[in-house]
Every structure is written in structure tokens, then in C-alpha cells.
Amino acid sequence: QIDSAAAGRRALGTFDMATQIDQVVQVLQATLSADEHTRHQAEQYLTQHAYAKSHVVVLMQVATAPQADASMRQSATINLKNLIAKGWDPRREDAARLHEEDKATVRANVLEALIQSPEIVRSQLNECVKVIANADFPERWPNLLETLVGYLATDDVPRVYGAVTVISVLCRKYEYKDKDERLALTPVINAAFPRLLQMLQSLLAMEDKREDAQLALLVKAIVKTYWSATYLDIPDALMRGDVYGAWIQCMHAIIVMPVPERGQPADPAERKHFPWWKAKKWALHVANRMFQRYGNPKQCKPEHKPFAEAFKRDCSCAFLESYVRLLSVLPAGGFLPDRIINLALQYLTTALTGSNTYKMMRPLLDDIVFQIAFPQLCHNAADQELWDTDPNEVVRKGYDIIEEMYSPRTAAVNFIVELCRCRSKENLPKVMGFMMQIFARCAEATRANGPAATPHPELGAALHAIGSLQDKLKSTTGYKEQIEPMLMAHVAPCFASPFPHVRAKACWCAGVYAEIEFQNPANFLALFGGVVAALKDDQLPVKVDATTALGSFVEAAEDIEQLKPILPQLLDEFFKLMNEVESEDLVFTLETIVEKFGEDIAPYALGLAQNLAAAFWKLTNSQDDKDDDDMNGALACVGCLRAIATILESISTLPHLYGQIEPTLMPILRKMLTQEGYDVYEEILEICSYITYYSPTVTPAMWELWPIMFDALESWGIQYFENVLVPLDNYISRGTEHFLAAPRYRDDVLRLCGTVILANEFPEPECIPAPKLMECVLQNCRGRVDDVVPGYLAVALERLPRCKGKYLKDLLIQVVANCLYYDAPLTLRTLEKNGKTNDALSAWFAMLSARTPNGKRKHHKREHDKKVCALGLTALLRAPAEAMPPAVAQGLGSITSVLVALLDDLKTQMTERKEMEENGYRGHGFWGGGDTDDEGEYVDEDLGDGGDDDPEDEKEPLDEEALRALAMKARKFGQFDPRGGDDDDDDDETRVEDDPVVAAERAWNEAQKTPEIPSPMSMHYALDLIEGPPEEAAARASIAKQIFAAASRTPWRSIRNLRVNGVAIDDDDVPALSGGDEGAGWDFVESAAGGTSPAFLELDFFGPDVFERLKIEPHQMRFTKGDEE
């Protein structure tokens, strides 16, 4: 009965699987339907059942079913690939996942499916294997290697090829891993690569079977696998002399072997895909990488030096010879794929710096330069065909970085430039002479037979070479003096060439030399005029090259007044061109024009913004239509937004224009502030910052972006918090009434800051903007947001003990300081209610007192930090007696001592900063990334200063004697102006309305009138003006005079309990000092001494220490020469 029941379940399972397969087949057929509704329903079904049990297995069965229709199998394979890519090993924990049973079934069958399937299915299954191997090998797929090695031992070519393909996948998994992680590849190397080497040697020996395409594909797969296995470093098993030599011999054999003519496509564009050419390409890759890594033993790791010396001796010249032989077919019209020419010339370029390789190449250089490299620069038939049929593609290829990497033209130029750079003595004159001969020959042909007879391919190539040699020519005596005459004699006439590619090269060549110092300004204007005229050329590539050159000329122009008349024309041409082509260089040039002309661009600002917005939408839509990432398109999108930001900056003195431009930009801002704008988010936020800061008001439309920004920060974009902070600050500071009108704005701030600060998932650098945002609210909404204070304090104090970085600690404790500044009684009540008063203030004062051995602060290093702390302390001192907790009231003396030291350091830092600014140094911008600490070291606000793990942090806080020493700096108080603060405040922080010194004075004045608070204490000075070396008497007297000079500049009673030579002076006589000049105080002392020379003074001086309420017991201090003033 049990067996019968089991059989019944198996039968039922088989029936269910068959049913599922039928359903999936029908759905896949429906996805190919011409009816949109039918397709939509089928796609919905596939989406809904994607992670259902057995669904992925059914897809693989359909994909590999030999009886199924090819289009059906392809559709099933694509769905299978996409499903495995998403659901096999998703990064997010909450993401949907495939069932483990289904994954085990797929792992058990995917290799066989890969081997048995046709190419149209195999290519998709190969992607599936990549995902599975990357996630599961070796831990969850332990038998994979054994299976693959078994396949290699068979004579079944498809099975062997499949095994090599998967081994290549495993090697690629570790391609970019470090040495320790690559140890997991060792078993694969040891088990599979001996067999791969044997196979490769056998395949290369089969000369009679070279026409077999399958054999060539297998050779290519093995070489590509070796490339991946040795990408960053050669494994030990492959570096042994006999093993490495055998592999290198195989690579050399592939490079020099002739490619069978039979079977090659007739079309050159298709011929490069012939398997033997691909195998040769990967062999070149391997040889190039080995030469770059081991060709110069001096640049190798010490452990690789013997190996590199052997490679240099035995291999480098052998490969060079084979490369030259490979390229030698080109002068006679022989065929080589572009990528192979590119790789071969790269090897030759590297060989120029090696003594042995250059010595071998030196007799061949004329042929290499003038017969192989230079012809690659020439305009050819394929170039002309593309120019005639697809000028947009000409533009794209000309400015595509990836195209340049693979281009033989770029490799040829690089070879010529490197030759003239590192072997210039004998080669630069030869190359330049050759170029001048071409210019002369072209000029002669033009004079004799007219412009149409010019050998234009060579002329364009010469212009290309001359422009590419710009760095060398500009810096070489004997050549740099001839650049200007050369431009006028040979480049300027090319603007009028009947050949468009020559006109384009003339524009580009003139642009790269626009920055030279022209002896004749008329020559600069002539070339500039040629470029401007080319903007109206009827050929698109010419106009684009002219645009790029124009940016260089505008940037180099010293006097833009002469350019202003043509500004409307330039912008008009730009607008037309932006509608024709997508080019980031065009946008960058427009950005240069906007920056250069500044406010003069204002009349065109709206039109520029509209055109740039239109160009941005066009580029964005074209990006959506492309399957692969388009680097150029992405750069152009960024360029559009940067240009818009530049325009907004240029009209900052014309705020009314922002209201006109804002509606044009609003659709972009709404869309790109979501995750769709991930790639341009920083640029979008910069635009928001300009609009919210410079507009007369923050408009309702801009307030609609507030929730979008918070949604981004809370869902996916917390890494942009620092960038978002700038517009948020503008919202709060410039739209304060709107911010206060709706409680949800305050709730958003508290919720976000609480989440970021308290959650452990965010690294500390990403938490830093949160306390800054809370500060922004507290300082801009004083007295109007009492409800947020308890929340802010709770968040800051809960995180504070867990902080590791000093900078985040500083900012969190500054939340307490800002709350005190906002409302000290409310803050004290809140701290007392939650039992946090002692914890908060103790931590704060410990941070304020912490110093390095050389006396520099460990915390609160920036001016802004010190100001916030000073204002918080003065607010604490000004708190009413009834609001003052007893513990705080008892420690007022310590509080005042901390404050005076803080004010003293602040004044010093402000003075140093002003001196630096006067010497040309400017600090960082709004909410800048860092500041300079007291030791002149850069403090990165994003990263703090490395945490609290340095030994200095273990030292005890300053003792009472040290505090007394700090308080002695009170005599510097005369440097502060009690009537007001420093007008040149930090411009990169939330605006602090109060000056800390004025606030401190206000606190002291109020304290004197408040009997409940203990009477203010002063520093007691005992000045021995006689005892000690006579030469120091003048210094001691000078210090005493300075004390009285300071007293004479303070608007309150500054000296009490004065004794001169032991005689007490009536306090009623002392006020006569107030308001006197600097000498009045000392004159009074001399008169008090009865006309004798003052010898010993005792007094209580109310300087900055009054602010600190520092109570110091009377003590005697001797002042010596060099003591701090």
C-alpha cells in the first residue's frame, strides 16, 4: 500500500509538471502574439508565477526541449536567465528568492543543458551558469569541478567545449579578487589547467584541421580562460618555468600562425569575427599583459624580479619580432582586424621604453612609423562611407572613449606621441620633418591643380598628428616658438578645404593650441574666426569639432569684450546643434561660455535653460531606448545639468530670473529627485540649492519637492544626505514661515534624523548631516519649535556614548549646545526630567577640556563649532536661578573657565583665518567638506578625524592648576571688541545670529544684577615687579601695564582689592580707571604708591575670567620673560 501510494504521488507529480509545462508553453507563445492585450496578460502571468514552486525548472525544460520551436526555446531561455539573475542570490534580504529545491534541480541539470543546446540557447544558459557559479561555487556546488574535469577527459567536443566555457566562468569569478581570495581558484588551476595545456598543444599541432571552426573556437576558449586565470597575477602552479614556457610558446604560435583563408567572410566587417582571428586577439591580449607586467624587472615586485628578467631575456624580443611580422602585411594592403592592429601597436608602444626592445626596433622605426602607424591616421574609404551615410555615428565614434580604446587610429597616434616623448632626440625632428613635407606637398598640389587635387587623407592625418603632439611641441625649445607660424601657414588654410574631414581636423587642431601665448593677437582672432565660421558648416561632424574648439578659444580669451557682439550668434548655433546631436563636449563648451560671460549671459538665461532642459529630456529618452549603458549619453546628461547650474549661478545677482526659469526645470527636478535620477542626483540637488537660495522666495512648487527628497533619503539615497542638506537648510532658513506652518515638516526632520542617528546600519559619515539639520531648525526657529527640543536631545544623547569618530561626537554634543541657545530653561528642564543633565554636561565639558600634549583642542576644532559651544555656555549662564539645577549652579565656576578658554581659542582661530584669507586662501564653501584644525591639519567633516583610538585621548582632563593657567589668558580680553562680533563670520554654516563675545558680556552684566547667583569671582594676580633678574623687571612691568590697559578698555568695573607695595587702595578710587587711555591705569598705580616705583601689586582683575566665573584662590605668580601674555 505504501509503494502504491508513493507511485500515485509520483504519477500525480509528473502530471502536475506536464500541466505546468503546457501552461508555460502557451504563455510563452502568447508573449509573441501580435495582440497587445494578449501579450500583456502573458507577461503578467510570468511575473506573478516567477517565484512559484517549479516554475524555474519548467522554464529550463522548455528551453532545452529539442522538439520545441526555436523561438519558443529562446523566449524560455531569456525568461530563465532573467529569473535566475534576480532570484538566485539577491542582495536584499527581503527580496523574492527561488526555492532551494528548484535551485538544486537547476544546478544538477544546467551543465548538460548547456552542452546539448544550440548556440541561440547556449549563450543565455552561459549567463545562467555565471550567476549560479558566482553565488554557489564552491560551497553549494562542490561537485562542479570534478564534473568538469571528467568532461575534459572525453573526446566529445561539445562536452569538452562546454567544460572549458564553465572553467572560464570560474576563472572570471576571481579575475579581480585579491591574492587571498584567489586561493579558492587553486584547485581549479591544479585540476584543469594541465589538461587544458595538453589540449591546446594538440589543437595547434593539427595543421590539417585548421579550417575546422569548432577547433578554432576551442582554442579561443582555452586562451581566454588562461587570460582570466592570470589577469591580476600568475598562480604559482602556472609560474613554474616549464609550465609557463609551454603556455607562452602556445601564445607565440597562435600569433605567428597564418589564418586560413578558407571560411573567412568576404566582408571585412564580418571577417574580424572569424574564430582564428578571435583566438589570435586573445593571444595578443595575454602577451601584452605579460609584457606590461614583467617587461621591466625594475618595476616588478621583488618576488617576481627573477621571473621578469627571464621574460625580458627570452620572450619580450621574440614577441616583438612576431608583432612586427604580423603588422608587415599592412603596407601591401593585407588584412588585419582593427583590434589586432590596436593590440599590436600597443605592444610596440610599450617596447619603446625598454632598452633591449628599442634596440631591436630602432632599425625598423621608419617603416613602422611612416608605413604602418601613420597610414592608420589617414581618412579611408570606410571613414568616408560612414561620413556619407551616418554622420551622427561619426560624431559618436569620434568622442567615444571606448571606441578610442579599441581603435587602431588611437593606438597609432599613441605610438607616435610616445616615440617623440621618450625617444625624442632622434625621432621628433624626423617625425616633424615628415609632417612638414606632407603640408608642403599638399600646398603645392593645391596651387598646381586646385583644392580638389589636395591629397586630403594625408593632410588630415598630418593635422591629427600635429594636434596630438601638442604637449611635446609646447614644451620643447625650438618647436614651441614655431607653433604660431605653423598654425597660420598650415592649419588656418584648411578651414577652407573642400574636404569636410580636413575642415573638422583643422578646427580640432586649432583648438588644442588655443591656449598658447600668441605673439600676434590677430592670429588668435583669425583662428577663432575660422572656428566660429565652421559652426555654420553644412557637415555635422565639422560643426561638432568646431564646437569643441570654440570652448578652448573662449577659455583662452583674455578679453571677452571683443567676443560679446557674437554671443547671440554663438548661442543660436549651439541651440541648433543641440537639436541635431547628443554630445557632452557640446554641453561642456556651452558651460564654458556661460562661466566666461557671467552676468552677460542673463538676457539669454531663459532660452539657454529651456534648450538645455530639452536636450536633457532628449538624452534621457534615448538612454531609455538603449539596452546597454551609454557612457557618452550619461555624460551628456550630467553636462546639461551642470550647464544649467552654471547659468543659475551666473544670474545670482538677478533673483527675479529664477522665477522665470523655475517652471522649465520643475519637471526635471520632480522626476530626477526619485531613484530614476540616481546617476545625476548630485547635479539635481545643486540646481535645487541655487533655486532655493537665490530666488526671492521658496515657491510652493519648490516645497512640493520636500517630501520627494525625504522619501529618497529614507528609502534609497541616504548616501546623498550631505548633498540634500544644502537645499533643506535653504528651505528652513529662507522659508521659515512655511516650514513652521505645517507640523509635518518638523516631523520629517525628527523622524529622519532619529532613524539615521540611532540605526546601527548607517556608517558614521552618513550620520553627520543629521545633527547639522537639527541645528538648522533650532537656530532658524528660535522660540517657535519647543516641541522638537525633547526629541532632538533624546536622539543626540542616546547615540553619543556609541560614537567612535570625534567629529560626530562634536556635532551630537552641539545639539545640546544649540538646544541651550534655543531655550536654556526648557533644555535644562528636559535634561533633568530624563536624568540626563549630568551625563550631557559632563561629556560636553570633558570634550571642551580635552587637549593634545601641545595644547591643541581634540574636539570642536572649527570656528563654527566653537561659536555654537560658546553660545550654549553663555545661554546656560544666563538661565534664571529657578531653572538652574543645583549641580549646574555649583559648577558655574568651571563653566566660566571653559568658556573663557573657548573664546580665547576662537579669537585666535578667527585671526589666523583672516590672515590666511588675506594671503589668498579661501575656506570651504557652504556646509563645506572640512576645515583646518589648530595644528594646520585638514579635518574631513565626512570622516571625522579617525575616532578616539589615539593614545592622546587616554590622558586625564586638565587639572585645576592647568585651568588656572588657561584663565590667566584673561588679560588678552582687550583684543575682543565687546560692542559687536566679527562681521566676517563663517559663511559655510547655519547662520549664528549672536556674537559669542557679546553674548558672554550680556551674560556677565546680567549675572552682576542677579543676587541669587554667587557673586562673580575674578583672577587674583600677585605681581612681583622687583624680585628676580633685573633684566626681567621691564617685562614684568609691561605685563602689569597691559592688565591696566585692558581694564581701561572695558566698560565695567574691572579691578578690585588693589594693593600697591602692600598698601590697600580704596575701591571707590578704582572706577576712575574706566574709560581712561592705556596709560591711565598705570599712572594711577604710580600715584597710589606715593610717588615711589611700584614694586609689588595684588589685585582681583575682572577680565574674560569674569565670564567664566572662575573662582581662583589668591596665589602668587612670577612673570618671566617669554611667558604667555
CB count in 10 Å sphere of residue 392? 14
What is the arithmetic mean of pLDDT over 905-931?
Answer: 69
What is the arithmetic mean of pLDDT over 406-412?
Answer: 96
Helix or strand (DSSP H, E) at 205:
helix 186-205
* Res 68 pLDDT > 90: no
pLDDT band at 559 (very low <50, low <70, confident <90, very high): confident
Q: Which residues contact 532 (CB under 8 A, 6 or more apart)?
A: 546, 550, 566, 569, 570
pLDDT (tens digit, 9 = 90+) per residue, 265-300?
988 889 999 999 999 999 999 999 999 999 999 988
Query: Which pLDDT score is estimated for 131?
Result: 96
CB count in 10 Å sphere of residue 872? 25
* Res 143 pLDDT > 70: yes
pLDDT band at 4 (very low <50, low <70, confident <90, very high): very low
CA pair distance 294, 301, nearest whole angstrom: 9
Q: Which residues contact 488 (CB under 8 A, 6 or more apart)?
A: 523, 526, 527
CA pair distance 467, 548, nearest whole angstrom: 14
SS3 994: coil
Phi, psi of 508 (to 5 degrees): -65, -45
User: 266-270, 455-459, 1104-1108 — which one is most confidently predicted on average?
Assistant: 455-459
What radius of gyration, in Å, describes the C-alpha atoms of the chain? 39
Closest CA to 132 of 106, 99, 96: 106
pLDDT band at 927 (very low <50, low <70, confident <90, very high): very low
Query: Which pLDDT score is estimated for 1037?
Result: 57
Query: Which pLDDT score is estimated for 117?
Result: 92
Alpha carbon separation from 843 to 770, 857, 905, 950 (Å, rounded): 20, 15, 20, 18
CA pair distance 497, 549, nearest whole angstrom: 17
CA pair distance 36, 57, nearest whole angstrom: 27
AA identity, residue 1033: A
Query: Which pLDDT score is estimated for 407?
Result: 95
Q: What's the pTM value of the predicted model, to 2 decimals?
A: 0.71
Helices (H) and strands (E) in the chain, counts: 55, 6
The angle, 0 to 180 degrees and rounded to 10, between the axes of the packed helices 275-294 and 338-351 is 20
* Percentage of residues of the chain with pLDDT beyond 70: 79
Cis preceding linkage at 138, omega within 30: yes
Which range has the worst mean pLDDT, 341-355, 392-406, 1059-1073?
Answer: 1059-1073
Query: Which pLDDT score is estimated for 978?
Result: 27
Contact 814, 869 (CB under 8 A): yes
Compute the CA torsion angle 21, 24, 29, 32 (nearest 10 deg).
-150
Q: Is 363 buried (19+), middle (13-18) or exposed (0-12) by CB count in 10 A? A: exposed
Q: 944 pairs with which residues across the strands?
A: 940
pLDDT (tens digit, 9 = 90+) per residue, 771-830?
999 999 999 999 999 999 999 999 999 999 999 999 999 999 999 999 999 999 999 999
Angle at 242 between CA 236 and CA 247, to 5 degrees: 80
Contact 1062, 1096 (CB under 8 A): yes
DSSP secondary structure code for residue 372 in this structure: I
Query: Which pLDDT score is estimated for 94?
Result: 81
CB count in 10 Å sphere of residue 689? 22
CA pair distance 813, 10, nearest whole angstrom: 68
DSSP secondary structure code for residue 749 in this structure: H
Contact 1060, 1100 (CB under 8 A): no
The grid coordinates of residue 572 equal 543660436
CA pair distance 838, 361, nearest whole angstrom: 79
Contact 804, 943 (CB under 8 A): no
Q: 939 pairs with which residues across the strands?
A: 931
SS3 1098: strand
pLDDT (tens digit, 9 = 90+) per residue, 661-715?
999 999 999 999 999 999 999 999 999 999 999 999 999 999 999 999 999 999 9
Average pLDDT of the chain, as a whole number? 83
Alpha carbon separation from 994 to 111, 189, 976, 985 (Å, rounded): 74, 70, 15, 11
CA pair distance 323, 313, nearest whole angstrom: 17
CA pair distance 792, 1099, nearest whole angstrom: 45
Query: Which pLDDT score is estimated for 1032?
Result: 52
CA pair distance 691, 125, nearest whole angstrom: 51
Mark residue 1075 as left, alpha or beta (left: phi above 0; alpha: psi -120 to 50; beta: remaining): left
Beta-sheet strand order (sheet of 1019-1024): 1019-1024, 1096-1101, 1055-1060, 1063-1064
- The better pLDDT of the pair 9, 55 is held by 55
Q: Which residues contact 802 (CB under 8 A, 6 or more apart)?
A: none
Alpha carbon separation from 974 to 203, 329, 904, 971 (Å, rounded): 92, 87, 11, 7
Query: Which pLDDT score is estimated for 1066?
Result: 61
AA identity, residue 291: F
Length of the chain: 1125
Residue with cell 543546446: 117
CA pair distance 272, 933, nearest whole angstrom: 60
CA pair distance 812, 797, nearest whole angstrom: 7
CA pair distance 873, 894, nearest whole angstrom: 11
Where in 1007-1102 does DSSP place strands (E)? Answer: 1019-1024, 1055-1060, 1063-1064, 1096-1101
Residue with cell 627573477: 306
pLDDT band at 583 (very low <50, low <70, confident <90, very high): confident
CA pair distance 1021, 1032, nearest whole angstrom: 18
The grid coordinates of residue 703 equal 516645497
Contact 1025, 1033 (CB under 8 A): yes
CA pair distance 724, 1058, nearest whole angstrom: 58
Contact 725, 927 (CB under 8 A): yes
Contact 417, 495 (CB under 8 A): no
Contact 106, 55 (CB under 8 A): no
Query: Which pLDDT score is estimated for 1069?
Result: 56
SS3 961: helix
DSSP secondary structure code for residue 1075 in this structure: T
The grid coordinates of residue 463 equal 593635422
Closest CA to 691 of 637, 655, 743: 655
What is the arithmetic mean of pLDDT over 881-887?
Answer: 90
Contact 836, 797 (CB under 8 A): yes
pLDDT band at 869 (very low <50, low <70, confident <90, very high): very high
| H, E, C per residue of 238-287 | HHCHHHHHHHHHHHHHHHHCCCCCCCCCCCHHHHCCCHHHHHHHHHHHHH
Alpha carbon separation from 635 to 208, 496, 512 (Å, rounded): 51, 32, 21
Helix or strand (DSSP H, E) at 931:
strand 930-932
- The better pLDDT of the pair 626, 834 is held by 834
Phi, psi of 912 (to 5 degrees): -65, -40
What is the arithmetic mean of pLDDT over 208-223?
Answer: 93
Contact 311, 378 (CB under 8 A): no
What is the arithmetic mean of pLDDT over 959-981?
Answer: 33
pLDDT (tens digit, 9 = 90+) per residue, 976-1023?
232 233 333 444 455 555 667 666 666 655 554 443 333 333 344 444
Q: 1101 pairs with which residues across the strands?
A: 1019, 1055
Tell me how far the alpha carbon of residue 921 is from its chain's centroid: 24
